Structure 1
């Protein structure tokens, strides 16, 4: 596999993850109007609340995903998601 192919796959992976992240968040229940009842997100929130004595911890995974679902990804989160997608895309291209 050539270096150009790996770079192209990494770029495609980075772009795809940035576009897919909000769609995936919505699909699992972290929506722009809050957590959807009966969803994976609701189950995660329930588990977190039980583990924390009745409340969801600020800064925890559920709170972070709820924030991203309601307000969108921050610049830092977009960069992290893009970087992870780029690495995965590059690795897949290198292995194939």
Structure 2
């Protein structure tokens, strides 16, 4: 039982630590959206769908904010919770699969 708690905690910490790296890798950087990146494609699609502008509060806007300023406390909690949940699910699934 203790190892499950440790695994979930490690999953949470790993997800929070990996989030800025992943955001940067897809193009959401501290200096803006990187040209030719996945983020640039997302921004283009969002702008076309919204008549030429990216809507405030949209996924692209939120991810760019996180890429530029880092994760807020609420975002860290959400990412950590998701990491813990995925780690727990994976460890349960791995135990059941021969």
Common fold: TM-score over 0.5 = yes
TM-score of the aligned structures, taking structure 2 as reference length: 0.93
Residue of structure 2 equivalent to 1:88: 86
Q: Deviations over 1:23-81 (max 9, x none)?
A: 00000000000000000000000000000000000000000000000000000000000
Paired residues, what number? 94
**After TM superposition, where is structure 1 displaced by more than 3 Å over at least 4 residues in a row?**
none
1:62 to 57, 60, 63: 60
**What is the distance in 1 between the residues matched to 2:72 and 2:90?**
27
**What is the distance in 2 between the residues matched to 1:91 and 1:6?**
10
Cα drift, residue 8 of structure 1 = 1.4
* Highest RCO, 1 vs 2 (Cα 8 Å, sep ≥ 6): 1
Gaps of 5+ in 2: none
**What is the distance in 2 between the residues matched to 1:87 and 1:65?**
21
Q: Decide whether the 8 Å contact of 1:13 with 1:86 is kept in 2.
A: yes
**What is the distance in 1 between the residues matched to 2:54 and 2:87?**
34
TM-score of the aligned structures, taking structure 1 as reference length: 0.95
Within 5 Å, give how 1:3-82 maps onto structure 2: 3-82=1-80
Gaps of 5+ in 1: none
